Amino acid sequence: MEPEKALERVELTDKARDFISLILAGVRPPAAHKAAGYEGSAHAAYELKSRLAGEIALEAERRGVSLDGIKTDLAMLDELPLKETEISIQDKLKLIAAKQKLVEYTAPPQTTRHIAAFVINRPAVVEAEVVKE
């Protein structure tokens, strides 16, 4: 989703409300999709999450979740020492990954464009006809 794109309001069904609640509870989209009563592929679950992004954000705000609050929580978690009783290395790596995603999501859009080019090598087909005069 592009940061400049406005989030659209959507008329919510009971299934959609259940899906949003499950997403905000941390359930992955495919599992939330199925648990809310939808049928379809994992792709359909992610499409639904994208379509409901505005409603998910509003519900998160209603529940008191804010970007600043998440940043503060991540900063506090980041300070925890690596001990078995505190936080495992695996959890620390997950925290670092989540923090990176948050930084990337909240970063201002790049003003410079990066162009990646690639060439697909295909055998050239040349048709020629020899004409004698």
> Who contacts 15 (Cβ-Cβ below 8 Å, separation ≥6)?
36, 37, 38
- Structurally, the chain folds into a number of domains equal to 2
Structural domain that includes position 82: 66-108
Q: How far apart are CA 83 and CA 57, in angstroms?
A: 34
Domain co-membership, 49 together with 10: yes
Domain boundary among 11, 37, 65: 65
Give 4's pLDDT tier (boundaries 50, 70, 90). Answer: very low
pLDDT tens, position by position, 58-115: 888 888 877 777 777 777 777 777 665 566 777 777 777 777 777 666 655 555 555 5
Domain co-membership, 55 together with 71: no
Helices (H), 36-111: 42-51, 53-62, 67-78, 89-106
Q: How far apart are CA 74 and CA 87, in angstroms?
A: 13
The model's pTM is 0.51
User: Is 117 a domain residue?
Assistant: no
